[in-house]
Structure 1
Amino acid sequence: MRFLLPLLLVLSALVTVLLPGCEPKEDLLTTDSSAKLEFSLDTVKFDTVFVSVGTVSKRLWVYNRNARAVRVAEISLQSRPGATYSLLVNGDAGLTLRDVEIRGQDSLLVLVRATIDPTPTALKPFLVVDDLRFRTNGNEQAVKVLSYGQNAYFHDGEQIKRNTIWKADKPHVIYNSVLVDSAVTLTIEAGARIYSHAGSFLVVRGQLLCNPTYQPTGAIKPDDRNIVRFLGDRREEFYSEVPGQWGGLEFDASSHDNVLRFTQIKNSAFGLLIFNPFNRQPHPSVRVENAEFRNISSLNGGYFLEGAALLGLSGDFRVQNTLITNCEQYAVFGVQGSQLQLDYCTIANYTQNNRLKPSVLLAAAIEINGKQQPPVAPVLLMRNSIVWGNMRDGEELEFVDGDQYPSAISIRNSVLKTKKYEKAGPLNQQQNGNILNPVEGPNYLFKSTPLRFRGKTLDFQLDTLSPASNKALPLPALTTDLLNRPRNPTTPDIGAYERVNP
């Protein structure tokens, strides 16, 4: 018996060597013409693509449902005029790939990337269609590839040295930032679209006039085509509400008399930054009317400040009829002598992350490059405005060392979410017509918030029985709201929106 196990091992080895090799069934090739492929999509669709700019790669899964392997003789694009495509399969790139094997009951990932050729005469998006072809065992199969091209003005590291107008006939795309030189004015026409690449800024040392003359004749909708919109350059639906995709608008110490009207700034690291770190006089200033700031994240790339929709470092903001929402850090940040005036503004600061910063922060001093700067008291005049959000500890106001400059803070007829400043003291805000910490429900403040209606489109217009209704102080110079609807002349509503009765 002791010789039996060695004998069996020898016989097993001889059988393995002498018998013909056997391949797994899924590795055996079939040449049967009925062995067709299946696809995860019938059309590979790209979102609107700026001409001459490559898209992200789109995925197409190719399935071999057959028991045996197939050899795809050719994978190719028809290459119709108007677009340049590239394929990536198993690490191999090209317009045509040959002899690609797919094991039985297995799949293959094909990555498709598109670059649209310029069409100078087309102002609106234009359709480009192609065919992605697969030839297997004599069978020809095809998947449509569909793209929309968009001509644009491209500004790559541009320095504007003379008075310039950005027209609205085509989008503007910013790469590597744009600088508006001192003593120069950049005017942006009504309806212009400005798309910025990751890390890009519009830096103003002179003057920016954004939508300076547009005046609607009646009420407008949020998607009004005359609103100027600043966005990131990722056009895919996934990125439509993602913060921090590009830098923001920066106004340096020499900037002056800037105006933004009927403007939206979205998905940036900051909205408007006035950067005057050594308190140069006169302060650079920005006037904001009928604007929206949405999905603002935090600063990066060497700045020593955190993100905010309105960030004033020794700079002055005058803001009216404006919505600020979904800022991952601050909504309004004013330090070192900044002067802020907010009239009929709604700050509805809801974020998915655990936000640790209040919506509104004021401070007299700031540290620059490790050195404390001389303190200069900021000034805040807020009227008929809402400061609300989902800050973890429920505090949406912070006046750093505010007891040293209480007379510089004036808040009237506003709805505030604050526990700190409802207490007795020089900064107490339970006066001047203010409403502090109203209970949400059954008299909801807004129509729709992330806490009230999950998954529903956010709507920061006032709810039917909102505590902000009819509690504002009439301001004779401001007779319309964010959407250019008339305000009640005697008992207007607090916030950017005047409530419209159904």
Structure 2
Amino acid sequence: MRFLLPLLLLLSAATVLLPGCEPKEDLVTTDSSARLEFSLDTVKFDTVFVTVGTVSKRLWVYNRNPRAVRVSEISLQNQPGITYNLLINGDAGSVARDVEIRGKDSLLVLVRATIDPTPSDGKPFLLASDLRFRTNGNDQQVKVVSYGQNAYFHDRDEIKANTTWKADKPHVIYNSVVVGPGVTLTIAAGARIYSHAGSFLVVKGRLLCNPTYQPTGPIKPNDPNLVRFEGDRRETEYAERPGQWGGLEFDLGSQGNVLRYTLIKNSTLGVYLYNPFNEQPRPQVQLEKVELRNISTLNSGYPFDGAALLSLCGDVTANNTLISNCEQYAVYAVQNSQVQLDYCTIANYTFGTRNQPSVLLSPEAPFKAISGRPLPALAPRLTMRNSIVWGNSRNLEELAFMNGEQYAGNINISTSVLLTKKYNNTGPLGQAKNGNILNPQEGPTYLFYSTPSRPRGKTLDYQLDTLSPASNKAVALPGISTDLLNRPRLSPPDIGAYERKNP
């Protein structure tokens, strides 16, 4: 018995040293036939502005072998015009060596790119390279493709003299741009403005978007002469994502602003008139043939809900304007804001849950005070003619007039298609009058050609359907003879931003 304990200890030590006891997936194979598999055959960076780093692209590397492999080198060769950076197992650089992947396991590789400003024009250019993996003498490659583009960069700029932004290269806004008092910023036809997260174009002077563009006939929705405002994330998954940048802000004293043939998309606030203490001269904006799309402050940290058109004691007129797919309000007019909408379409479809109506009037601002100074409660004013207010809100209520009985005389809606149950009467706030069409049934006739709930093709289209109840129901308005796409208004005209095409 006195030899039993030492013998057991000896046997235990020997067992630990046996090669078969090491997990098979931890044993590194030296077999030259061991190969890796990849989640992508090409890592693609959509158009990237020069000098601006891209988001990180993910590439999963799979080891399908039962044993571990040691990747002796992972490298992405930099070349003139572009610098790559890899992040592997927490280590950053352009090369990683002796990286082990256990059997039946995977490795995450993050790739970033920064493009140098080499070409001088604003046209996109292509840069390609190979991400190399060397394992047991074998080389495998994954293509990395980057599209670069030069741009004008505006970082905390304050515009102090009359300026024109040309359309030869995109404009990229960082940390907001301010148009100073008494100064006019003119944005030429076809200009593209991309704003970084949280950035605004703040106008204390005057903004003229596309002031001289005069098409000779009908245009297409993607007409190259449109001025476009959107976020600076160019990846496909961000193409229609709301809340990516701030918006256009018009402050006290900003008058004579005109936006024509302009698209504003993917911001937290679309057109924002800021004059909370009702001072003079009030901000003033005119929209003509404008589209606002995908506007929302959700998950952005704002203390109030977003709107495509938000006015605090400002004056807004809009005609032939489309507001669509906002996660919150489309039009939010507070205090004594004055809003006039003619031939406008509000098609506020959302992919999530929306609790806000598309149109809200309120005598109170969305916040109670600024720097301890209380904000005044004042009566807003709304005039709406030949327009559509529609959406897919849960309770089918797209109009709201907070304390509306106090300013019922300021609300004038006529010959419009409205989705409302609360105001489906002829009372002081009721809309069953003035030629309005309330709550038309969807199916077998439909209001719009293509919506998220009834898609046709790959794109949404808020032009009128063939038998739309809005067809031929408008009243001609002086000075407005064409629609959003510059097509002639017929007689009688159609309600909304679009005149239906002839069969």
Q: Scaled by the length of structure 2, what TM-score is found?
A: 0.94
Change (3 A) 1:105 1:378: closer
Aligned to 1:471: 473
| 2:16 equivalent to 1:14 | no
2:435 corresponds to: 433
Q: Deviations over 1:87-132 (max 9, x none)?
A: 1111111111111122233322221111111124242100001111
Q: After TM superposition, give the deviation of residue 455 of structure 1 in Å.
A: 8.5
Which residue matches 1:416?
418
Distance change >3 Å, CA 62–CA 422, structure 1 → 2: closer
Matches within 5 A, 1:36-435: 36-298=35-297, 305-366=304-365, 367-369=368-370, 373-435=375-437
Q: In structure 2, what is the Cα distance between the partners aligned to 1:10 and 1:426?
A: 101
- When residues 71 and 478 of structure 1 are mapped into structure 2, their CA distance, relative to the original with a 3 A threshold, is same
Whether the 8 Å CA contact 2:298–2:327 is kept in 1: the answer is no
The 1:282/1:15 distance shift into structure 2, 3 A limit, reads same
In 2, Cα distance between the equivalents of 1:63 and 1:352? 35
The offset of 1:216, in angstroms, is 1.1
In the alignment, the residues of structure 2 paired with residue 486 and residue 194 of structure 1 have an alpha-carbon distance, to the nearest angstrom, of 29
The whole-number CA distance in structure 2 between the counterparts of 1:426 and 1:34 is 82
What's the secondary structure of 1:405's corresponding residue? helix
Give the distance between the partners of 1:402 and 1:46, measured in 2 at CA. Answer: 51
Label 1:244 to 1:302 Cα distance change in 2 as closer, same or farther (>3 A). Answer: closer
Q: Which runs of 5+ in 1 are unaligned?
A: none
1:482 aligned residue (448, 460, 484): 484
Counterparts of 1:207 and 1:46, CA distance in 2: 36
Q: Is the 8 A contact 1:365 1:372 kept in 2?
A: no
Please tell me the residue identity of whatever aligns with 1:445. Answer: L
Aligned 8 A contact 2:201 2:249 in 1: yes
Deviations 1:189-225 (A, max 9, x none): 1111111111111100000001111111111111111
Distance 2:456 2:400 in 1: 29
Deviation at 1:364, TM superposition (A): 2.7
Secondary structure at the aligned position of 2:423 is classed as helix
Q: Tell me, in whole angstroms, the C-alpha distance in 2 between the residues paired with 1:38 and 1:393.
A: 50
The residue type equivalent to 1:467 in the other structure is P
Cα distance, 1:12–1:243 mapped onto 2, change above 3 Å: farther
Q: Residues 300 and 212 of structure 1: is their aligned pair in 2 closer, same or farther, counting only changes over 3 Å? A: farther
1:303 positional shift: 6.0
Is the CA contact (8 Å cut-off) linking 2:155 and 2:177 kept in structure 1?
yes
Percent identical pairs in the alignment equals 70
> Which residue in the other structure is 2:492 paired with?
491
Contact 1:304 1:368 in 2 (8 A): no
Paired residues of 2:323 and 2:348 also in contact (CA < 8 A): yes
RMSD of aligned residue pairs (Cα, Å)? 2.1
Displacement after TM superposition at 1:61 (Å): 2.1
1:407 partner SS: helix
Give the superposition deviation at 1:454: 8.6
Q: Residue 46 of structure 1: SS of its match in structure 2?
A: strand
**Which runs of 5 or more structure 2 residues have no equivalent in the other structure?**
none
> Measured at CA, do residues 303 and 146 of structure 1 come closer, stay the same or move farther in structure 2, by a change above 3 Å?
closer
State the alpha-carbon separation in 1 of the partners of residues 104 and 357 from structure 2.
Answer: 55
SS at match of 1:26: helix
Rate the CA distance shift 1:495–1:140 in 2: closer, same or farther, 3 A. Answer: same
Quick check: 52-61 or 314-323, which moved more? 52-61
Query: Is 1:501 the equivalent of 2:498?
Result: no
Change (3 A) 1:428 1:264: same
Query: Residues of 1 paired with 2:159 and 2:409: CA distance?
Result: 42
CA distance in 1 between counterparts of 2:23 and 2:334 reads 72
CA gap of 1:302–1:47, structure 2 versus 1, over 3 A, is closer
SS in 2 for 1:404: helix
Equivalent residue letter for 2:14: L
Given that 2:82 and 2:115 are in contact with CA atoms closer than 8 Å, whether structure 1 keeps it comes out as yes
State the shift of 1:27 in Å: 2.4
Kindly indicate whether the alpha-carbon contact (under 8 Å) linking 1:299 and 1:305 is maintained by their aligned counterparts in 2: no
Matched residue count: 496
Measured in 2, the distance between the counterparts of 1:27 and 1:429 equals 74
| Inter-CA distance 132–442: structure 2 relative to 1 (3 Å threshold) | same
Amino acid at match of 1:16: S
Structure 2: distance between partners of 1:445 and 1:61: 46
Q: How far off is 1:480 after superposition?
A: 0.8
2-structure distance, mates of 1:299, 1:255 = 28
